[in-house]
Each structure stands twice: as C-alpha cells, then as structure tokens.
Structure 1
C-alpha cells in the first residue's frame, strides 16, 4: 500500500516515515524543507519537494494514487502564534484546506492528522482524556482544533475518514540510530538541555520552581517520537480495517518534571548542564499528563521507549554525533 507523508522530512515526520517503511508500506515524502532536512530522508522513500500552499501541485501528487496520507506540515510555536496569527492561519488552516480538497478530489481513503494537546488548554482534570473540554489558550492550539473540526465535516460530507492524533510532548530519537537530522531552533525542553550539554547554549532556563508539584518545577508527559510514529501506522490500519474515524490522545501517562529531566540528563551525558531558575512563563500549567486508554483500546498501542533514560540517551547520541565527534 502507498502512503503520502506531508512534512515527512521533519523531526516527527521522519520517524513516521520510518515506521511506515518498517511496516512494509511504500512511502512518498512531500516537504518544502523549511524546517525539515534532507538528512531525514530515506533512500527507500520517494521524495517530492513541494509546499502545501501550492494547491495545484498537491492535487497532482494526490492524483498519483495513494491509500492514505499523513499530514504533519504546520507552524508549531505556540508563542509565535500569538504574535503572528496571520502566518499560522495561512500555513495551518489554508494549507490544510488545500490538502483536504486535493484528497477529496481523488477520494483518498484516510488522512492521519498530527494534532496536539494544545487543543485542550489548561487542564480541568488529570489525566487528560479525549472528552476533556477543548479550550485552546493560544492560536496554534486553535488552528489544530479547527482542523479537527474540518476533518469531521469532510468525513460527514465527503466520506473521508481520518485520525486526529493528539501529541503531548514528543521527544527522543530513533533508538536504532537511523535518524540524525536535528530540529532547527528548538524550543522544547529536551533538545534545549542537549544543546547546553553539547556546549551550544551556555545554560538552561528553568521557568519557575514554585509550582505545586513534587519538586516545584512543571511536569509534562513525554512520549518517545518512535512510539508516536507507530501509532500513525496503527491509526491508518484501524481506518482501513474498521472504516471509522477516530481521535486519540498519545502520552506515556507518566509525568516527568523539568528538574527530574535535567538531573537524569546530567547523569546520562556526564555533563554539568548549567541551569538557572527564572520566573514562570505566562500560561504554563503546573502539570500536563495524558490518558492514552483510548489508544490502547482501539489501536493496541503502548509506549515502548518513553521512559526518561531512553528519551535522553537516544537524543544525546544524535547530539554527540553532530557536535562532539
């Protein structure tokens, strides 16, 4: 079967491509390489350079014949989305409409969408399950929720089945070492910690140590990117076999605090990793943890690599190869 992975040269996208290739699928990557990298492309997968804003080009690619597509192309910095909503509206909303229209024109069987825990906003209870109120607190989260609503309408009106996979905190790298492309200008905790360990940044800023958590720092649910990737394959196969759309949360269900991640990273890397405590960031909830029960029940999914040590060691290997060889 053939799968089109839009955004397949990016950090998460390359792991998704690898998972489909490992499962025996024929894969084509469609990417504009604005944030993705050629280092993340595989010889077994076809590569097409293109942009989701090019509706005619998208239509031509879709017409080549695919059984499904994975949509990972988006702007994703929550803070930037509040400063430049027009950019996020165009890239995330208009770009997705272009994808859906091209897919609908060829009656594509399934769209697997990279959604986000940002659709929920601040937690009203923990762990966060799929029925949790969806009240995004930044424009990025708003675009993800609106895309989920678009998908539901295209399912209702066009019969296009979809899976909305809501990531919590993606981290780690392929444990077999087959993916080595680093994210550009990372903002998430673990790659920033690795940049400090590798000497690229002078220190880590810990945003607050006075939260009502076990050590005062924020707690987040980190899920290994390879665990996320296998869920995309399972979601496609669920749609193929059951003919139903679905929305699922994906997390490890085990929260790790900022200070816990920092301390484990110091031990695993053998580096001091200087850090300073600064003020809280506006809008940072003290704790975010997912319930992944629905994914377990429907997709038989479980995280295999999402413990802190594997997250850190698999990431550190890539940074060592890039900066310390």
Structure 2
C-alpha cells in the first residue's frame, strides 16, 4: 500500500516504518521532529511538517494517493499532561481532528491509530479487556479517548475502516541495534533504568512500595516494540483482507513488578545504580495487564519477544549505542 505514517521518526513509529518497508509498503513519513530523528526513518520519504498546519497536511495528501494512514504523532508524558493539559488536547486531539479531515476529503480507506491503555483509567480488575468502559484519569488518556471517538464516529458516517491499538508498556529496541528509544527526558521505566546503567542518569526512583502486589511495587505489562510494530503491519493486512473496524489491546497478558524489572537490568548490566524508594504517585493502579485474546484471535498476532530478559537486553544494547553516538557527535 501507499501509506502515510505520522510521527514515523519517533520511537514506535520508526520501528513500524522499518517493518512496513521490509513488507514492501510505499511509505511517506510526516513528522515535525520534535522528539523524532531523521536517521530513524529507514524507509520511504520524510516530510517535515506539523499536524497543526492544515496547509502542510493538505499538501502531502495532494502529492500522494494514500491507501492507509498510520497515526503515531502525539505527546505521551502523563505528568506533563496534568501540568499542561491544553498542550495535549491541542497536539493529540485537535491535530488528530486535522488529520481526519484530510482522511475524509481524500477518501483514505484505512486508518491505524496509536492509542493507549491510559484510556481505561483505574479499573477494578487488573487484566483489561477492550470492552471496559473508558474512564481516563489524566489529560493524556482523555486526549486519546477523544481521538478514538472521533475516528469511530467518522467511520460510522463514511467508508473508513480503522484499527485502534491500545498500547500497554512499550519497551526494548531493534535487536540489531538499528533503532531504539532516543526520546529526550523519557519516563518509561526500562529506558530510565538503562540510562542509569550508562551514567546518563545518576539514579532513579520507585514510586510506591506498599501496593498489594508480590513485592509491594506496581505490576505492568511490558511489550517489546518489535512485537508492537508487527501488530501494525498485521492490522493493515487485516483491513485489506476485509476485516471490520476493531480495537485491540497490545500486551502480553502478564506483568512484572518495578523491582523485578530493576533487578533484571542490574543483573544483565552488572551495574548497581542508585534507586530511591518514595511514595506513590497519584493515579498509579497496583497492576495493569492486557487481555490480548482479541488480537491473537482476530489478527493471528503472536509475539516473538515475550521475554523480559530479551526486552531488557535489547534496550541496554541500544542505550549503549545511543550514548556512544551522542558522545561522538559532541566531540
């Protein structure tokens, strides 16, 4: 297909672009490079532009006859969304609306949307199905929920088919070290721990040690970025084969505690970095894991990297590569 990938120079988008390219798709990446990088676009054409710019969006749609759009471009830091909610409603919700207007005008038949488990809020159960009521507790989750609703409503009034993928905790990197998370001031646990290993950070914090879990710290479902990328490629195949619009959780259905993750990073690196234990953060559930029966059943998706040791080893390998690259650039 001829595909547009918004945010394709970022962490997850770049992994998806690489897999799309290897699958033979014709790709145009649209990215403002606020958190992405030119070098991360390994296939297709990069158009530097912003989804707040209607003219720039229209120009790229007029220049190409897209059959599908994969929409990643967004801000994703939960604490920042609480401190600056309008930034999130502008960049995530309004800019999705801008993109959807172009999708409607140009009659693009397929859309894959990057969403999040944050749309569920703090449900009573720990293993989450796609049919749970959406009740986000922060502007980030709310901005994504609103985007989901706009996509669904547009599809109900047009010929658009969509797949919405609700990510759980994305981690790891390309096993060959070609791509990885290079986001400035990242907040993801495994990324932060790997930065402690390489000395990019002096230490890290554990927020809450009194949860009702096996060691008192939060449990999360960590999914390798390559498995997540594969879900996007399969989502396009699914729709092209006549699959109906659908929402899929993206996770492994099992989780690890914060302490367990830190222990694996320490074991694999041999580095005893500083960890400070502090109080809970507001809005952190004790445990969140994905019910992934729908994506495995309907897409036939099967993970290749469902192993915390593999996730951590690829993340550590990338962090060392990335630190060396940055130190080389500064010399």
TM-score, length basis structure 1: 0.97
Query: 1:40–1:181: 8 Å Cα contact kept in structure 2?
Result: no
2:125 equivalent in structure 1: 125
1:229 equivalent in structure 2: 229
SS at match of 1:158: coil
**2:57 equivalent to 1:58:** yes
Residue 324 of structure 1: how far off its partner (Å) = 5.3
- Counterpart CA distance in 2 for 1:316 and 1:243 is 38
2:310 equivalent in structure 1: 310
1:45 equivalent in structure 2: 44
SS at match of 1:131: coil
Query: 2:18–2:41: 8 Å Cα contact kept in structure 1?
Result: no
Query: 1:3–1:67: 8 Å Cα contact kept in structure 2?
Result: yes
- Counterpart CA distance in 1 for 2:323 and 2:148 is 39
SS at match of 1:242: coil
Query: 2:177–2:321: 8 Å Cα contact kept in structure 1?
Result: no
Structure 2 runs not aligned, ≥5 long: 326-331
- Counterpart CA distance in 2 for 1:2 and 1:324 is 35
* Matched ranges for 1:150-229 at <5 A: 150-180=150-180, 182-229=182-229
**2:268 equivalent to 1:268:** yes
| RMSD of aligned Cα (Å) | 1.2
- Counterpart CA distance in 1 for 2:163 and 2:104 is 15
Residue 105 of structure 1: how far off its partner (Å) = 0.7
* Matched ranges for 1:13-92 at <5 A: 13-42=13-42, 44-63=43-62, 64-92=64-92
2:111 equivalent in structure 1: 111
- Counterpart CA distance in 2 for 1:221 and 1:33 is 29
More deviation, 188-197/236-245: 236-245
- Counterpart CA distance in 1 for 2:319 and 2:93 is 33
Query: 2:130–2:247: 8 Å Cα contact kept in structure 1?
Result: yes
Instruction: Name the CA shift for 1:219/1:91 in 2 (closer, same or farther; >3 Å).
Output: same
Residue 218 of structure 1: how far off its partner (Å) = 0.5
**2:244 equivalent to 1:239:** no
Query: 2:180–2:315: 8 Å Cα contact kept in structure 1?
Result: no
**2:296 equivalent to 1:289:** no
Structure 1 runs not aligned, ≥5 long: none
Query: 2:173–2:181: 8 Å Cα contact kept in structure 1?
Result: no
